[in-house]
Structure 1
Amino acid sequence: MSSIETRDERLQQAMKLVLLATLPGLLVLFWFYGWGVLINLILSVATALSVEAAVTSLRRQPPQATLTDGSAVVSATLLAIALPPYCPWWLTVTAIGSGLLLGKHLYGGVGRNPFNPAMLGFALAMVMFPQPMTHWPAHGMDLTAAFGQVFNLGTQPDAWVQATALDSLRINKSLTMDELFAGNPAFGRFGGHGMEWVNLAFLAGGLFLLQRRVIGWQAPVGMLASLFVISLLCWNGSGSDSHGSPLFHLLSGATMLGAFFIVTEPVSGAKKPLARLLFGVGAGLLTYLIRTWGGYPDGVAFAVLLMNLCVPTLERFAAARQAQVKP
């Protein structure tokens, strides 16, 4: 009984540190996009706790069985970060509800899920509702306008939305990279406007988790290194057919969130060090391939879900390699 309690306490402590590490990224997101970020977060967390409470009640388990371990709040927070600010309230509720039910509780709850619940919810929302999932704001709104946009209170203008830098690059046919950075408001200095600072903030949070040994280095390094290498190999300068520089891919979209907070998920990810490294490498390569030639602007969620399917094979390969090197 004491070992179970100790394990639960370790899980709760790890979840608290993960939530703390997301704070810099959340603050930067709030700075650029305003109240929609906070509304997304509140809606997502409230829905996640409601789903956990309902499932716990149906299974006739004590509330502390799942409500207090922090895993649902972490999944809800990561999904809220990934969703576009000011997306409709029903989209947030649908995404986190389906992610937890189909990605976690369908398999028996925390510790048994083969897929990352947050990324499964995001991917389902992207497939089912592609239009609102691509409506990223060009700027923030005041609190009243934000509530009106999220909850559809009256007629709201669409002039404030714009394509992301990754989406603009994917559909670009004629402009050079220099022209895109100079004339497209979605582009910042090195990556997506605002998102380059968001990515740096999540990098800081990820380094904090590494320093506290909440996560291992293998998966983040594998993902970032493979994304850097393949984008460098496929980079052909600033021409109109360019797929973007390595720095652009590292500082756009959900790169750092994916590297430090998504591929490091301990249940659906790999366990052995070599398997974690290969998991990260595969996630980075797939992210680039989906961004460049796929039908979606950012491929982190789909890359992680595809690599979740590969975890058993990666674990067997890592075990075989470990057996070979033993004397």
Structure 2
Amino acid sequence: MLIADGVDQRLRQAMQRVLLATLPGLLVMLWLYGWGVLLNLLLTVSGALAMEALVLYLRRRPLPPNLGDGSALVSATLLALALPAYCPWWLPLSAAAAAIVLGKHLYGGVGQNPFNPAMLGYALALLCFPQSMTHWPAPHAMDLLGGLQQVFGVADGLHADAWAQATALDSLRINKSLTLDELFAGNPAFGHFGGRGAEWISLGFLAGGLFLLQQRVISWQAPVGMLGSLFVISLLCWNGSGSDSHGSPLFHLLSGASMLGAFFIVTEPVSGPKAAKARLLFGVGVGLLTYLIRTWGGYPDGVAFAVLLMNLAVPGLERLCLSEQEKA
């Protein structure tokens, strides 16, 4: 019993530090998108905790300490950060429910999930509701009243075209005629190096990720593998600023969910590998798949699908590293 209490305490402390590390990126998102980020967070957290309590009750598991271990709260927070601000209220709730039920308790609960719960919830929401998942707001485009009307479906004549815009990754993917320099100069979705606003959000999550590394909550292998492979493949495939350009390495590192994925998603300890070399290979695979999906796939940002695909490869990566250790 004392051992279990010690494990629960360490898990709670780790989850608390992860939540603390999301604050820099969260604050930048609040500055850019306003109340929509908080509404997402409120909906995903309440939905995840309610579903967690319901499933624990149905499984006849005690609510404390299971409900307070922090794992559901972290999954809900990461999911809220990945969803578009001001999306319909039912979207965060359904995504959170899918993350908790299908991503976690379907396999036995915390410590037994083969897939990242937050990314599973996000991917299912994207596949089921693609239109709602592509309405990202322009920075500083919505006030609280308009946001509440949009979220709860009571907006009279407030169309998405009036406040939403395509992301930089989406604009680049569908671009056929403009050079990269022209996109950065004339498209409001582009900032200095990456997506407008997204580059500052990425730096916020980078700061949080460095904090987690300093606190030894996460190890360096998966983040370095993901960011390193994403940098290398985008550098090798970069053909300048022509109309057929796929973007510079800096553009890919500072756009979309690259930094969020590198420090908060691929480092999830349960669905990822345990061996150090396997974690490095896992990160490399996520980075490569992210670039391939962004460039030639049907979705502008491929982090969620890349992580889920590499989750399937974890047993093989573990066996590969184990066999190499045995040979050595």
> TM-score scaled to structure 1, two decimals?
0.98
Unmatched tracts of structure 2, length 5 or more:
none
1:142 paired to 2:139: no
1:118 paired to 2:118: yes
**TM superposition shift of 1:157:** 2.5
Q: Distance in 2 between matches of 1:7 and 1:154?
A: 48
Contact in 2 for aligned 1:56/1:65 (Cα 8 Å): no
Match for residue 67 of structure 1?
Answer: 67
Match for residue 4 of structure 1?
Answer: 4
Deviations 1:247-290 (A, max 9, x none): 00000000000000000000001110000000000000000000
Amino acid of the residue matched to residue 323 of structure 1?
A: E
Q: Distance in 1 between matches of 2:326 and 2:6?
A: 31
1:169 paired to 2:175: no
Match for residue 157 of structure 1?
Answer: 159
1:213 paired to 2:216: yes
Match for residue 102 of structure 1?
Answer: 102
1:258 to 246, 251, 261: 261
Aligned to 1:162, what secondary structure does the other structure show? coil
Q: Distance in 2 between matches of 1:40 and 1:299?
A: 21
Percent identical residues: 73
Match for residue 298 of structure 1?
Answer: 301
1:133 paired to 2:133: yes
Count of residues in correspondence between the two structures? 325
Q: Distance in 1 between matches of 2:31 and 2:155?
A: 26
Aligned to 2:102, what secondary structure does the other structure show? helix
**TM superposition shift of 1:80:** 0.3
**TM superposition shift of 1:154:** 3.1
1:198 paired to 2:201: yes
Q: Distance in 2 between matches of 1:37 and 1:246?
A: 28
Amino acid of the residue matched to residue 157 of structure 1?
A: H
Amino acid of the residue matched to residue 67 of structure 1?
A: L
**TM superposition shift of 1:164:** 0.3
Q: Tell me which stretches of 4 or more aligned residues in structure 1 moved more than 3 Å.
A: none
Amino acid of the residue matched to residue 248 of structure 2?
A: S
1:248 paired to 2:254: no
Q: Distance in 2 between matches of 1:106 and 1:142?
A: 39
**TM superposition shift of 1:152:** 0.9
1:186 to 189, 209, 215: 189
Q: Distance in 2 between matches of 1:236 and 1:142?
A: 40
Aligned to 2:22, what secondary structure does the other structure show? helix
Amino acid of the residue matched to residue 260 of structure 2?
A: L
Aligned to 1:295, what secondary structure does the other structure show? coil
Q: Distance in 2 between matches of 1:61 and 1:144?
A: 41
RMSD between aligned alpha carbons? Answer: 0.7
Q: Distance in 2 between matches of 1:64 and 1:290?
A: 41
Q: Distance in 2 between matches of 1:258 and 1:133?
A: 18
2:327 to 319, 324, 327: 324
Contact in 1 for aligned 2:139/2:197 (Cα 8 Å): no
Match for residue 58 of structure 2?
Answer: 58
Contact in 1 for aligned 2:146/2:155 (Cα 8 Å): no
1:22 paired to 2:22: yes
